[in-house]
Amino acid sequence: MRKLFLAAVAFLAASLQAEPILPHFFSDGMVLQREREAAIWGKATAGEEVTVTFKGATRIAKADADGKWRTAIATGPADAAGAVLAVASGGKTLQVRDVLVGEVWFASGQSNMVFTMERAPAYASIVKATDLPGLRFFNAASVTAVEPQDDNAGNWTKAAPETNGGQSAVAFFFARKLHLDLGVPVGVIKSAWGGKPVETFTSRQALETLPGTKALVDALLAQDKTYDPAAAHAAYEKRLEQWEVAAKAWKEKPAAQRGRLAKKPVPPKRPLDTEGQPGVLYNSMIHPFIGYTMRGAIWYQGEANAKPGAVPYDQSLPLLIRDWRARWGEDFSFHFVQLANFRAPSTAPGTPDPWALLQDRMRRILTTTPKTGMAVINDTGEVADIHPKNKKDPGERLALWALAKDYGKPLAVWSGPLYRDAEVRDGAIRIRFDQVGSGLKSRDGGPLKRFEIAGADQVWQWAEAKLDGSDAVLVRAAGIPAPVAVRYAWASNPEGANLVNSEGLPASVFRTDDWKDAEASPVDARAEALKARRAAGAQIVN
């Protein structure tokens, strides 16, 4: 009788064994990084052994006291056939089907990375015609979290007419070019949220290591400490009631008299659980993926940081890169998109511009942070739309960096011209560039435009710029006999900027000076210097 009882207890215990659980991104249709030991992890009954099998290789892990386990399994060469990843524990087996082996990239940033194929009418034919089962995407859910999370909902989809419209356009064109050029499966995990600053995608632990970003964290923690949910909800209810009254009155007015209805109030959220706040989206949309074996990351963000007073982007973005690399335990490649041209074109030289300043700080990251690349797109933007519809050029220009730097393709160039150095020579400044291909040229065949030059008084004027050999431009201005600095394309929208390389890729914004007023409003000292030069009879060229 006792034996029967013990057998019944054993049977019941076995039947209660939990099936192994995997995060959503380890699911049917996924892509594993080729020629690596790909990390696999999940949950099972505490203390249980977990057996992972893939294409004849087997690894055994053991769940810890919290039920968490982790291992890595060899993937072998690229394989588009689709195999089964089996995870067994406690007598139960979970099968992940149609798993490809190829190249994996992580895509993140704000709205221009979120921007989908269906939002650009010009891509309708591409959406309908593209059927590439070896090209796959995982789109992370837009969620927030107070603490770091282990999972994020989503599922893998193939590039097919019925799914292409919902894919990130930049990620789509990046991945498609890699897939077609390399001839191997490509998978992209996209985890992005529009309108959010770089700091929200960075862990608060990392943010606390930099004075400027630490101040943001301190302010958030202080705000969270005094947050009163009941009071916040009461205030929200009052605002909502006021809005509903205003909305009713608005609807009752004739259409010609309505004007614009105020935005409907949104329910309050705890500061530590509010999207955009430091570290919040790291917890919910970056941390779950940490350790997923991949080739690298692509990034399109910066619009939310292009403002006076923001922590300099050549500090905040490298901080994010270091943070992610340290947590992944790998110095993976990180390629980003420089901001596009935007707003009405400026017409005066020397106009301070936080947009151009951020673009230039992006450029400088290339020389200070290893294994980074930058797609220059100051020729693809739109005057009145911060979300330009041309996403093919940004995506494919990111792919050029990957093809050259990560896959060793013998490309003539993989970027637009990048400032190398400057030399003052006989009343002019000679600027040399990298990434020129067979030589620099003017895009439209006309004179080079949007070069500015200044003397020690920091008064800028438009310059005459001429090609000087295959990799250099000679810049001068009649009114500045002793120039000390040059800027190029220094504007939110540098209309007319036309320096390109032999492949037609545009030159990046740059400056040779490091004057502190570059992002502020023009100061009186500069205005006085301009008056003094005019009074002395200097020629000011526009």
User: What three-state secondary structure class fits 485?
Assistant: strand
Vertex 517 angle, CA 340 and 380, to 5°? 10
- Burial bucket for residue 315 (CB in 10 Å: 0-12, 13-18, 19+): middle
- Against a cut of 0.85, is the pTM above it? yes
- The whole-number pLDDT of residue 529 equals 41
- Residue 380 contacts residue 340 (beta carbons within 8 Å): yes
Say how far residue 289 (Cα) sits from the centre of its chain. 16
Q: Look at residue 299 and tell me whether its pLDDT is greater than 60.
A: yes
Residue 402 tokens, joined? 């990957």
pLDDT mean over 413-419: 98
pLDDT at 516: 81
* HSE, side-chain direction, 13 A CA sphere, residue 276: 9
* Two tokens, residue 165: 């419209």
For residue 29, pLDDT over 70 is answered with: yes
Q: Given pLDDT bands bounded at 50, 70 and 90, which one contains residue 17?
A: low
User: Which single residue is written with the structure tokens 């909902």?
Assistant: 153
- Percentage of the chain lying above the pLDDT 90 cut: 91
Q: Which of 289, 284, 283 is nearest to 328 (CA)?
A: 289
How buried is 47 (Cβ within 10 angstroms: 0-12 exposed, 13-18 middle, 19+ buried)? exposed
Q: For residue 286, give the DSSP letter.
A: I
Distances (CA, A) of 328 to 92, 151, 296: 30, 16, 11
Q: Retrieve residue 370's tokens.
A: 């290893």
Cα 72–Cα 75–Cα 79 angle in degrees, nearest 5: 155
225: CB partners within 8 A, 6+ apart: none
Q: Which long-range contacts (CB under 8 A, 24 or more apart) does 72-76 make?
A: 72/37, 72/38, 72/39, 72/40, 72/293, 73/37, 73/38, 73/40, 74/36, 74/37, 74/38, 75/32, 75/33, 75/34, 75/35, 75/36, 75/37, 75/38, 75/101, 76/34, 76/35, 76/101
Q: Alpha-carbon distance 163 to 178, whole Å? A: 19
- Whole-number pLDDT of residue 517: 55
Residue 458 confidence (pLDDT): 96
In total, the chain counts a number of residues equal to: 542
Strand 472-476 versus strand 428-434 pairing type: antiparallel
pLDDT at 369: 98
On the CB side of 355, CA atoms within 13 Å amount to: 19
Report whether pLDDT(321) > 80: yes
**Does the structure show a pLDDT above 50 at 527?**
no
Q: What is the pLDDT of residue 16?
A: 46
The whole-number pLDDT of residue 99 equals 98
520 pLDDT above the threshold of 60:
no
By the 8 A CB rule, do 296 and 406 touch?
yes
Q: Is the pLDDT of residue 278 over 50?
A: yes
Strand partners, 423: 430
- pLDDT, tens digit, for every residue of 344-368? 999 999 999 999 999 999 999 999 9
Number of Cβ within a 10 Å radius of residue 341: 25
- For 150-175, how does the pLDDT look when each residue is reduced to its tens digit (9 = 90+)? 999 999 999 999 999 999 999 999 99
Q: How far apart are the first and last CA of the chain?
A: 103
CA distance 102 to 94: 22
